[in-house]
Amino acid sequence: MKRKPKLGQNFLIDDRARHAIADALGDVSQKTVIEIGPGRGAITEILAPRCGNLIALELDRELAPALAHRFADQPQVKIVEIDVLKADLASLIPSGQTADVIGNLPYYITSDILLKLFAAGSTGLLSHAVVMMQREVADRVAASPGVRDYGLLSATAQMNARVEHLFTLPPSAFSPPPEVYSSVLRLHFAPRFTELGVDPSGFDRFLKQSFAQKRKTLENNLRAAGYSSSELATSWPTDMPRQARAESLSLEVMAELYRSLRGNQQN
């Protein structure tokens, strides 16, 4: 079977790593697990006997039927030939259940997959995910405010999940080896919108506006997004420097500013 580099096909060959990834989901005997990009089944074959229900989403037209054939005698395993970004996760999960997600992700669509998982997590469909991605992306997802890697992806991730960095693997853990290191994260979906008193779609938009240009201060990004100087002056928290950048501020502070702007707009 020919490998398709365009589909991000770097297969995991490190035995300890694939067991560590599967183990990181914990006890899944009563759970539905969705695997993204099972490939040649390196993680699938470990999880299959452990899961209540394993649904593996694979886009490759050759790999998907080969896997379906291989797991044909395991009725708890379902291989779906589909683009994960087009999959309707809600329809795959038995109603009333929450699912876990696992995957050595196709790196070319990592951010889109993460956004899809956060959206599903915010509706209560997902409980945990153990996902491998390029190390630099994982560092951004897990970064804290004030460090170089912190940005819109970090803020979005941390509004939706607690992020745990598990371990990093060298290129030699894969065949063929990619050009980058890879890191595994565990996400505990726990949206913070209610706790921080913000509406999800409005606050998502506000974050995008706030981080629009890294070189600009938060105030300048918000002015470029249409907020007037006077409404920013009225709403600006007294203890927050006017020169602050979104990259240095906690989600609590960002939410405080958003609530204040919204409150003043409504008055």
* Footprint of ligand SAM (CB under 6 A): 7-12, 37-40, 42-43, 57-60, 63, 83-85, 104, 106, 109
Give the shortest CB-158-to-ligand SAM separation in angstroms. 25
Q: How far is the CB of 106 from ligand SAM (least distance, A)?
A: 3
At residue 92, φ and ψ (nearest 5 deg) are -90, -20
Q: Are 218 and 231 in contact (CB under 8 A)?
A: no
Return the beta strands (E) in 86-220 as ranges: 99-104, 126-134, 161-169, 174-175, 182-189
Angle 179-40-92 (CA atoms, 0-180°, nearest 5)? 110
Measured from the CB atom, is 158 or 182 closer to ligand SAM?
Answer: 182
* CB closer to ligand SAM, 9 vs 156: 9
> Using CA atoms, how far apart are residues 73 and 69, in angstroms rounded to an integer?
8
Cβ-based nearer residue to ligand SAM, 59 or 93: 59
> 3-class DSSP state for residue 220?
helix
**How far apart are alpha carbons 98 and 257 in whole angstroms?**
33
Q: Which is nearer to ligand SAM, 12 or 246 (CB)?
A: 12
Tokens for 170?
Answer: 């060298």
Nearest approach in angstroms of CB 11 to ligand SAM is 4
Q: Which residue is nearest to ligand SAM (CB)?
A: 37
Min separation Cβ 7 and ligand SAM, Å? 4
Q: Which amino acid is at 198?
A: V
Q: How far is the CB of 258 from ligand SAM (least distance, A)?
A: 33
Choice between 19 and 242, CB closer to ligand SAM: 19
